[in-house]
Structures are given as C-alpha cells and as structure tokens.
Amino acid sequence: MNDQPTPAVKVEIPRPKRGEGQWGLGYLEPLNKNEQSKRDDNPLNAIGRIKSTWAQAEFDRIDPADKRGRFRWAGLYTQRAPGFDGGKTATLEEEELDDSFFMMRVRTDGQILTGAALRTLGSLSNEYARGTADITDRNNIQYHWIEIGSVPDMWERLDAVGLTTIEACGDSPRPFLGSPVAGIAKDELIDGSSALAEIKRRSLGNPEYSNFPRKFKTALTGHPSHDVAPEVNDVAFVATVHPELGVGFDCWVGGGLSTNPHLAQKLGVWIPLEEVPDVWEAVAGIFRDYGYRRLRSRARLKFLVADWGMEKFREVMEVKYLKREMVRCESPAVPEHQGDHIGVHEQKDGKFFIGAAPVVGRINGDVLLGLADLVEQYGAQGARLTAYQKLVVIGVDGADTEAFAAGLEKIGLTAAPSNWRRRTMACTGIEYCKLAIVETKDRAKDLIEELEKRFPELDSPISVNLNGCPNACARTQVADIGLKGQLVLDENGEQVSGYQVHLGGGLALGANFGRKLRAHKVTSAGLDDYITKVVTNYLAGRAAGESFQT
C-alpha cells in the first residue's frame, strides 16, 4: 500500500460554532471533569505513583483523583462495598459505595496463556484476590478484593509471564479481542496475531494514545466465523479476500452498545497484514483528535462515524493520517453464526484445540491452577480466552483429547456444555460493580441450571445475556434474549430487582438489536418462568429452519 498514490483531495472538516471539545478543531479547553482530570495530569503517571507512594498508603489517604479516576489506566477500579441494593445505590455518592478494595483487570489481548502464565494467574488469585477470577468477554481475567499494597508484586509477577493490566480500563486502548484460534485453525484465512501484537507495542503506555475522549475497543480476526464480535467494537479488522491481492483485512469502525447502540460500519478496503497497525493508528488518531469530548454520553467513536458517514471517515483517514489511499475491496461475507470454538477440533498442524465453558465466565484461582497442571501434564501449548467468556486450550495431542476433556470436567470446565451454559453471558453486576442496579452472575448460574432441567435438549441455539445496568458490558442488545438490569414493579407494586427484556438481537448474519417492548419487563424472581414461556412459544410456533432471532 506504500505504493498507493497520495490522495489529491483536501478534506474539509468545518468548525462548528459550538465546539464539542474536538482537539483537531482547536477546542482544547476541558469541558467536563473527566477531561479536566486528564489535562491536570496524564493518567499514565498514576502507575508510577502506585509503585512509589500509594501502595504504601492507607486507602483513605489515596488522592481521590487518582483512586477513582487515573487508576483506571492501571487496570484498577474501586470496588463496590457489599450490602447495597439497587434502590439504596441511587441515593449514594460514588465514594460512599467504595470499600477499600479494587477490581483489577489483566488483559490478555488474544495471547496464548502458557502453563506458567496460568499458574501465575491462579496463584495471584488465591494470594491476593480471595480466589476470585472471572473471564470477561474482552479477553481479560478480572480479579476482585485487591488491596493497593498488593499491586506492585502482582505487576512484577504478571510481567514475568508477559501479562499486564496497563490501560485495561480508562479512556485508553482497551483490551484487544483476538481470534482464539489464530494461527491454528484449519479454516483460518490469515493469522493476524503479529498485527495485534504490533498494535499493542505501539499503543500501550504511549501518551499519544492515552487520552481518548472515552474508551476505544479493538478486535481483530482472520477466522471466517468472525469470532471476536467485530460489529460492536470501535475498530475491528476482519479477514477479507481481494480477487488479485489475496487475503488481507477489511476495517470496520464505530460499533458499540451501551445506552445508544450502533453496529460498526465497513470501510470496504483491503489492508495487508503488515499495514494493519498503521490503519489502527489512523482510526485511533481520528478518535483522539475529532472525537466529541463535551458529553461523556456522546464521546464514543460511533457518534463521530454516524455524523461523518463512511465516505468522509475514510477520506480523513487517507488524507490526514495515512497519507495514501487504501485499496477498495468488497467487505467479506458474514457467517451465519460467530464461532465460539467450543468442543474438540483438529488444528492445521494435526494437534487439537478444545473449547471449554465455565459458567458465565466465573472461574477461580484453583481452576486456573488446575488448568495449568493439565496444560503442563499433557504438553499443550496453553489457552486463549474468547469473546464469549469461555476459553480454548491449544495444542493437545490427538491421543490425549479425551483425557484432557475429562480433566477439564474435573475442574469445573466442560467441552460439551448445554445450550444454556454455552450461550449465556453475564456482566459483573451488583456484587462488585458500582454502576450496577441488579445481581447478575449468581442469577445467571441459577437460570442456567433451571433451563438445563426444563430444556435439556435444544436443536436451535438461543443466547441469553444478563446485564446489571444499561451499560451493556455483556452485550444486552445482541443476544436472542438480552436482559438489562433495572428496578421493576412486582405484582404488589413494590420495586424489586428485574430486567428490561430485548428480544431477537444477534451478531453475524442478520446482525441487529433486540426489540425492546415496554411491557417486556420481568422481575429477577420471575426470570426462569418468563424465559421458559418465551422459549416454549418459539419452539411451538416456529417454521422449519426458523431461528429464534427471525
């Protein structure tokens, strides 16, 4: 692409009368307290202060601007104190919800976790996080109950196995989603691992990319099943085939859920593997320079993409950032379903990978240590995390797959899950998240157990995503049955925990948002029966081949 001509057109970006805090248009004054805090001090500096000062300090003595703000760039959030329900939360200030602990995210960015890495993750969980460890839908391991004094030792030990928490939260390059089967799947179009590693090398801890208007989510896959939920990322690279140039990547921009969901739009280009990081920097640069910074609720890339449209967005990328034109190419065909890689599958090198499901991503330190034992005992390469709160073990010998799968069952993971265990996700919820209105993880576990009894066999996949608030961290709007936590009225007119229901959403072919009907609200206590009714109606009324979504 370096041979591509420099675009001749001079792109115009008019300066509106009322600025939205877009740096590229000269609106440099901070317009809200988050922007002010980032201006006061680069949030990356808080990482050094944790090591030098805060790790030795009492929780209450830590500067609140660091503790509740800049620590996010270190992968740390203050944790919700136990005992508050959604109703009480509404009347409390953020600091009143604090206990003296942190939630910590370890990003894996599509890397393979070796036996040593899994052992470190498990040991840290048991030593410092009361055994907690959740697999998130963004390739993270998330700990709870972390004391600030533990953090330097945790960082040192994570670093020794190639892991980091840096910029796992904050207005930063958030953890990258990579294909769990990169480099190993027989049907892979291209292995994008090197591009993802290079994006990480260029961006993490780099002040150029440490102050976005808000979070910036990246996904990349060379697998035809689009196994990284590319539609709901700010920027995604998806393998595409050019009739003459061969396999490269299309770039999709502007996806995101939360309270104002958008599916990513396709640039319709062909990018060779080695130039993917340049294109990432172009999209990230546009977001940094032209993203809206006035209102946090409008500060995601999706709003800029919607306002500019694809043609202008691509033109600005080419003229102002890449200084060259990108090759136009039809966007790749969209698969019927996105791959979750559950089960036992042969790799292209003759070994096998095994996709296994915990329950809604919840594992613990002992599970990680048990997995490390299995990986080492059978000489497997390691494990990757998926975009669906699951994991994939890589490089198992054909003769060992049965024994390995039996070993997984013993530690609470299964390579042959029911539909409900396989396709249910839940966010952190009220147990630890300060924004939550309702409980999610335990509720989802009970729901799965009940649905497994009521619908032990299901011939058509149905996904259920439980979320504790409107932020949609577990993708409310793109599940067959999406649940958004809120307070609802029970039959006595009392406010109780419950969910707004979104029906018929999905990713891949026919990607769309679930329908949200006003009457579709359910109490947490009534959830099992509600879903039973919905599924029974679908099974009774469907035409041949009709999926839940249609």
Binding site residues, ligand SF4, CB under 6 A: 427-429, 433, 435-436, 467-469, 471-473
Tokens representing 206 are: 């780099």
CA distance 179 to 117: 19
Say which residue the tokens 């993203």 belong to: 291
Nearest CA to 300 out of 283, 314, 319, 312 is that of: 283
| Shortest separation between residue 436's beta carbon and ligand SF4, angstroms | 3
| Shortest separation between residue 433's beta carbon and ligand SF4, angstroms | 3
Between 220 and 425, whose beta carbon lies closer to ligand SF4?
A: 425
| Shortest separation between residue 176's beta carbon and ligand SF4, angstroms | 19
Between 44 and 496, whose beta carbon lies closer to ligand SF4?
A: 496
| Shortest separation between residue 230's beta carbon and ligand SF4, angstroms | 20
- Name the residue whose CB lies closest to ligand SF4: 468
Residues 6+ apart with CB under 8 A from 486: 86, 437, 438, 469, 470, 498, 499, 500, 521
| Shortest separation between residue 359's beta carbon and ligand SF4, angstroms | 17
Between 273 and 483, whose beta carbon lies closer to ligand SF4?
A: 483
Between 462 and 472, whose beta carbon lies closer to ligand SF4?
A: 472
| Shortest separation between residue 79's beta carbon and ligand SF4, angstroms | 11
The strands making up 140-146's β-sheet, listed across from edge to edge, are 76-80, 98-107, 140-146, 132-135, 362-364
| Shortest separation between residue 141's beta carbon and ligand SF4, angstroms | 15
Pairing type for strands 464-467 and 481-489 reads parallel
Between 146 and 329, whose beta carbon lies closer to ligand SF4?
A: 146
Residues 6+ apart with CB under 8 A from 228: 177, 178, 179, 219, 220, 221, 236, 387
Side-chain half-sphere exposure of 344, counting CA atoms within 13 A? 17
How far CA 257 is from CA of 180, 231, 336, in Å, comes to 22, 10, 21
Between 272 and 482, whose beta carbon lies closer to ligand SF4?
A: 482
Vertex 539, ends 536 and 544: CA angle to 5°?
170
3-class secondary-structure state, position 384: strand
Tokens representing 518 are: 């006003």
Between 22 and 465, whose beta carbon lies closer to ligand SF4?
A: 465
